[in-house]
Amino acid sequence: MYKQVIAIRTDLEMSPGKMAAQCAHASVSSLDGVNKKIIVSWKKEGQKKVVVQARNEKELFELKARCSKLKIPCSLVIDAGLTELIPGTATALAIGPEKEEKINKITGSLPLLK
């Protein structure tokens, strides 16, 4: 099975709406780097998405580096600064969709967003 994981920074204290928008940006942008066959399979399986907490910018960039090392598609969202945040703030990272086992190696220990 395939899934996508979105890591969102919790140290920024974004409003729920801002967090939702950043997750959506990440999810859609991540698809650009994914094999089309994987996207088709993921959609047929229900487009599983899991949102987890990233404690800070450092953790977000560490996750991105681990994705690069394992050749897992990902997309980092850098905010434009039009509403709540300073321009250039890294807010979220979408990983995949990819095989669950591969993504779990990177994000399996992160807490779910509450």
Where are the strands (E) in 16-114, listed by range?
A: 49-54, 74-78, 90-99
Domain 2-107 has CATH 3.30.420.10: no
- Give the residue among 31, 29, 51, 50 at the shortest CA–CA distance from 41: 31
- In the chain, the amino acid numbered 102 is K
Distance of alpha carbon 43 from alpha carbon 47, whole angstroms: 5
CA–CA gap between residue 97 and residue 2 (Å, rounded) = 6
Domain extent listing, the chain: 2-107
pLDDT in tens, the chain (114 residues): 999 999 999 999 999 999 999 999 999 999 998 999 999 999 999 999 999 999 999 999 999 999 999 999 999 999 999 999 999 999 999 999 999 999 999 999 999 999
Quote the pLDDT of residue 89: 98
Do 6 and 50 form a contact (C-beta atoms < 8 A)?
Answer: yes
